Amino acid sequence: MGGFGISAANDWLLIEDVRLVRQLCTPVTVQFDDGSVADYFDEHVDKGLPPERFARIWIHTHPGSCPEPSSTDEETFERYFGQADWALMFILARGLYGEQGSGVGVRGSGFRATHHSPLTPTAWPP
C-alpha cells in the first residue's frame, strides 16, 4: 500500500496528512492508478499547494519486518523523484526506514546525495 505525505507550509518534513490514491496491491507489489495520481496532483495544485508540499514524500509499506528498499523501490524513487530538488522515501514495515535524496547545485553542476536512516524504535531515545 502506498501514498503521499502532505507537508506543513512552514516545515516540509512535518507530515500533516497522508493521502492514498487508487491502487492495485498484492502482498508484495503496488501499482498506483495513473488517473488517481493525476487527480491527486490536480486537487493540490488547485488548492495552491506547491509540489514540495504534496509530491515529495512517498510513503509505502513492506510485508513482514524488512523496511529496506527493494531494487524496485530504488528504481521507482529515481524514476519519479530523481529530478526533484528533494524527495523522501518512507517505508513502513515492522521496522521503519527513511531515505532522503536531495539535489544540491555546486558551481552550476548538480549532484544527488542519498542518506539511509534506519529508524527503529530501539534506536529512539527514551
Q: Which three cell numbers stand for residue 118?
A: 534506519
Range of the domain at 16: 2-123
CA distance 83 to 67: 24
67, 96 in Cβ contact below 8 A? yes
Q: Tell me, what's the pLDDT at 22?
A: 97
Residue 39: per-residue pLDDT: 97
Task: Provide the pLDDT for residue 95.
Answer: 59
pTM for the structure as a whole: 0.74
pLDDT for the residue 69: 84
Please state the domain count of the chain. 1
Element (DSSP H or E) covering residue 54? helix 51-54
10-residue mean pLDDT profile of the chain (126 residues): values are 94 91 92 96 97 93 81 89 86 66 36 44 47
pLDDT at 115: 44
